[in-house]
Structure 1
Amino acid sequence: MTLTLAEIWRFPIKSHGWEPLSFAELTVGKTLPWDRAWAVAHEASDADGSKWVPCSQFSRGAKAPGLAAISAKLNENTGQVTLSHPERDDLTFSPDTEGEKLIAWAGGFIPENRAQSSYVVRGQDLGFTDCHFQSITLGNASSHRAVEQRVGHPLSIHRWRCNLWIDGMAPWEEFDWVGHQVQIGEAILEVVERTERCLATHNNPETGHRDDNILGALDSWGHRDFSVQTRVVQSGQIRQGDKVQRL
């Protein structure tokens, strides 16, 4: 069966919104362009953007379900981001110079018993991925459908926050790709590891509230993994609808 690149998504501000793309230029050793370029550090963080730090340094959906319902649109020319949420008026701002506007807009989603959002930080030549390397997350649409069947109703793909969605694979086939390379359009990616999941998957991206026990559903397969982490080993353009081939 032909495998295709069904969807491309980036997340300009870590845990604060998703954005669809029709194409992207991938570069060796880099994330999807502008993916997790910024992050919101909390009051207990010492992140300054100079190096990779774990996600525990940032405000994120695992601790604040309301963040899950944010969508984003980045203007690459101006560096401005527009955020939308069903419980807020839209916010357009510059993360580099107007981080306080984001804190005021989204800070209310952080539970009182959690470290509060403090400042916006931009990665210096890095994206704030959850991996220690500059990763691109690859999701299998068939695995997503398998989880939907297990919980008994449709689920938003944004629970997983994958960058690339591949269609045409068997459920969980992506796990067999670890240690192999995959070509998408002009680019080649190395599949490095599986992605272990957390409570952020319980967040409904339409409402910003927790509902389904996604980790329990994954437990029924004997793991809590969904998607795989890849690194770019050959630069090139990828487009929605491109053929995908394991090498």
Structure 2
Amino acid sequence: MMGAVTSLWRHPIKSHGREEVTSTTLIAGQTMPGDRVWAVAHEQSKADGSEWVPCANFNRVSKVPQLMAMRARLDDDSGLVTLDHPNLGDITFDPDSDPAPFLDWVRPIMPSNRAQSKRFVKVPNRGMTDSDFPSVTLCNIASHRAVERQLGMEISPLRWRGNIWLDDLPEWQEFKWMGRDVKIGDAILRPTERTDRCPATNTNPETGLPDADVVSALDSFGHRDFSVRAEVIQGGEILIGSKAELI
């Protein structure tokens, strides 16, 4: 069974925007370069950057739906991040040295009854994925289309906030890959768990407004999962069009 890479996405700041890239070079045991490098800790967070902590410590789309409408761009050389949002305009800043401009910029879309964004957190050599291990998410376009059919409407694949999108596979084929090695381009990945989903996926990535009951659509398949979280076993380059096959 062979698929092909149709798109590659990274999310420099967890839950705050997405960026399409034309290639990526994975590193064994690490997350996708430039993906979830930072997370935005809220006022009640216990995260201190010394180790990975669960997503409840951070502001994210499930609690602040408007975050879904952000786009992001990371300058890999300077470390500067540019975010834009339909209701806020754009901003360029350095999350490591000068977070204050971001905190002022994002405040208008933060619900007043929720803990406000306070600081950036990052952990050496891994992105702040929802998984407790450094993971890369593999998404199947056929599975996405199955969800669309269940909903009776088209939805953006960006709702899933995945890393590597694959086509030319049967729907839900990715769930059969648990514990098996998948070669994608020059890299080898090993899916180890399915990605459980929350109401964040109900939110439209263009508007930041919930407009589809995606979670209930998943329930109709007997699960609330979409995509698989994989460990990078062997690093290597992946390009648009790279082949994906079990080995």
Which TM-score band applies after superposition, normalised by the shorter structure?
over 0.9
**Residue 42 (str. 1) matches residue 42 (str. 2):** yes
CA distance in 1, matches of 2:105, 2:246: 43
CA distance in 1 between counterparts of 2:142 and 2:109 reads: 32
Q: What's 2:92 paired with?
A: 92
Q: Deviations for 1:131-178, whole angstroms, at most 9, x for unmatched residues?
A: 000000110000001111111121111110000001011111110111
Is 1:13 aligned with 2:19?
Answer: no
Partner of 1:153: 153
Cα-Cα RMSD: 1.0
Question: Match for residue 214 of structure 2?
Answer: 214
Maintained 8 Å contact 1:63/1:110: no
| One-letter identity of the residue aligned with 2:244 | V
Equivalent residue, structure 1, for 2:65 = 65
Deviations 1:80-112 (A, max 9, x none): 011011111110111111211111111332222
**How many percent of aligned residue pairs carry the same amino acid?**
49
Letter in 1 for 2:228: V
Q: Which runs of 4+ in 1 moved over 3 A?
A: none
Equivalent-residue separation in structure 2 for 1:57 and 1:201 (angstroms): 19
Contact kept in structure 2, 1:14 and 1:38, CA below 8 Å: yes
Instruction: Tell me what 1:119 maps to.
Output: 119
CA distance in 2, matches of 1:198, 1:102: 26
Post-superposition Cα deviations, 1:190-223, rounded to whole Å, max 9, x if no partner, equal 1101011001001110000111000010011111
SS of aligned partner of 1:5: strand
Amino acid aligned to 1:95: P
Q: How far is the alpha carbon of 1:44 from its aligned partner? A: 0.3
- Structure 2 partner of 1:167: 167
3-state secondary structure, aligned to 1:6:
strand
Unpaired runs of at least 5, structure 1: none
Q: Distance in 2 between matches of 1:170 and 1:106?
A: 40
TM-score after normalising by structure 2: 0.98
State the Cα distance separating 1:2 from its structure 2 match.
4.1
**Equivalence for 2:227:** 227
Task: Measure how far apart 1:52 and its partner are.
Answer: 0.5
Matched, 1:239 2:239: yes
Which residue pairs with 1:128 in the alignment?
128
Q: What is the letter of the counterpart of residue 118 of structure 1?
A: K
TM-score of the aligned structures, taking structure 1 as reference length: 0.98
Distance 2:108 2:199 in 1: 19
Q: How far did 1:124 drift?
A: 2.1
Counterparts of 1:52 and 1:236, CA distance in 2:
25
Q: Within 2, Cα distance between the matches of 1:175 and 1:203?
A: 24
| 1:67 match: secondary structure | helix
What secondary structure does 1:170 align onto? Answer: coil
Q: Which residue of 1 aligns with 2:103?
A: 103
